[in-house]
Amino acid sequence: MLADPESAPDAQLWGAIAHDDHAAFTALFERHAQAVWNYAYRLTGSWSTAEDVLSTTFLTAWRRRAEVVLIRDSALPWLYTVAANLVRNDHRRRSRFLRLVPKLAVPDETRDHAEELAEHDHTRHRLREVLVAVDMLPTAEREAVQLCMVGRMSTADAAALLGITEVSVRSRLSRARARLRGLTEESFDD
Concatenated DSSP letters of 83-143: HHHHHHHHHHHHHHHHHHHHHHPPP-TT--HHHHHHHHHHHHHHHHHHHHHHHTS-HHHHH
User: Identity (one letter) of the amino acid at 94?
Assistant: R
pLDDT of res. 167? 95
CA dihedral 70, 72, 78, 79 (to 10 degrees): 100
Of 153, 144, 147, 149, residue with least CA distance to 171: 144
Of 38, 51, 39, 34, residue with least CA distance to 84: 39
pLDDT of res. 188? 41
- Radius of gyration in angstroms for the set of CA atoms belonging to the chain, rounded to a whole number: 33
State the CB neighbour count (10 A cutoff) for residue 39: 21
Give 10-residue mean pLDDT values along the chain (190 residues).
80 90 94 94 89 96 90 88 92 77 61 69 77 86 84 83 91 91 62
Q: Where are the domains of the chain?
A: 5-103, 131-187
CB within 8 Å of 92: residues ≥ 6 apart:
none
Q: How far apart are CA 26 and CA 16, in angstroms?
A: 11
pLDDT of res. 109? 61
Q: How far apart are CA 1 and CA 56, in angstroms?
A: 25
Fold classification of 5-103 is: Rna Polymerase Sigma Factor; Chain: A (1.10.1740)
CB half-sphere exposure, 158, CA atoms < 13 A: 24
Of 190, 182, 85, residue with least CA distance to 136: 182
pLDDT of res. 25? 94
The CATH number assigned to the domain with range 131-187 reads 1.10.10.10
